[in-house]
Amino acid sequence: MSYLKLLAVVWLVAGLSACATTTPPHEHRDSASVSTVYSSTASSATTHTVTRGETLWRIARNYQTDPEEIARVNKIPDSTTISVGQKLVIPGSSRRRATTNFTAGQGTEDFIWPVKGRIAAYFHQQTSGVSNKGIDITTQDIQDVMAARDGRVIFVGRLAGYGETIILDHKDGLSTIYCGYASSCVKLGDDVRQGTTLAKTGSSPARLKDALHFEVRKKHKPQNPLYYLD
């Protein structure tokens, strides 16, 4: 086994597990109540109004903070994405200097959806006591599985409970995982650009039928992909 493949396996051992397959009720939150969420430390926060094309990932980078922290403070459910006009409290932003605003479709720093489809299982969704560490996206017929962001292929192969798996290292502490495809189009060590076809979809016995499992990880810790995807 090559060094890159061995490294990827060791990196995944502590975190990978089977994923949920049932769909929870879609939750919504009234952004009008956001001002009450962080009132105890209002002096150390600012309010950001979401504009078209923004994601929590882009907003967090702009304010030099973490998307999971913004989601926690604003009580954004795991199954919910942000919407244009929504007001978000940015914790600690008065102590940070915001960088230049990112614009929609700016480039490969952002994340694109790996496939088009309906979300069949959300982040942290529980089934039989197992927590989903990503999202499952249903697919129809044969689709291209695309690289969500520029990166290097550090694993291609089968993982117990996950089926056929590709892992991309994005060289900034973030990585993405693609599971349950039918056939791969890349090899270990390949450098790929955002939008590159990594694999072709198809059903897999180890995964939800006709669905791609997708994860975003930050220094090995699973993140909610919906906070990163536009």
pLDDT at 140: 80
pLDDT at 161: 81
CA distance 216 to 224: 7
Fold of domain 3-24+108-227 = Glucose Permease (Domain IIA) (2.70.70)
pLDDT at 211: 87
Res. 27: pLDDT tops 50: no
Tell me which architecture the domain covering 31-95 has in CATH: Roll (3.10)
Q: CA 143 → CA 139, 176, 184, 186, 203, distances in Å?
A: 7, 18, 12, 15, 11
Q: Are 226 and 81 in contact (CB under 8 A)?
A: yes
Closest CA to 43 of 81, 6, 93: 93
pLDDT band at 148 (very low <50, low <70, confident <90, very high): very high
Whole-angstrom Cα Rg for the chain? 18
CA distance 182 to 198: 11
Q: To which residue do tokens 């967090």 refer?
A: 60
Taking only the tens place, the pLDDT of each residue in 69-92 is: 999 999 999 888 899 999 999 987
| DSSP code of residue 156 | E
User: Among 23-27, 43-47, 110-114, 160-164, which is the least confidently predicted range?
Assistant: 23-27
Q: CA 193 → CA 50, 108, 169, 171, distances in Å?
A: 28, 8, 12, 13
Output the pTM of the full model.
Answer: 0.77
CA distance 42 to 32: 16
Cα-Cα end-to-end distance for the chain: 36
Taking only the tens place, the pLDDT of each residue in 122-135 is: 999 987 788 999 99
Domain boundaries, the chain: 3-24+108-227, 31-95
CA dihedral 202, 204, 210, 211 (to 10 degrees): -110
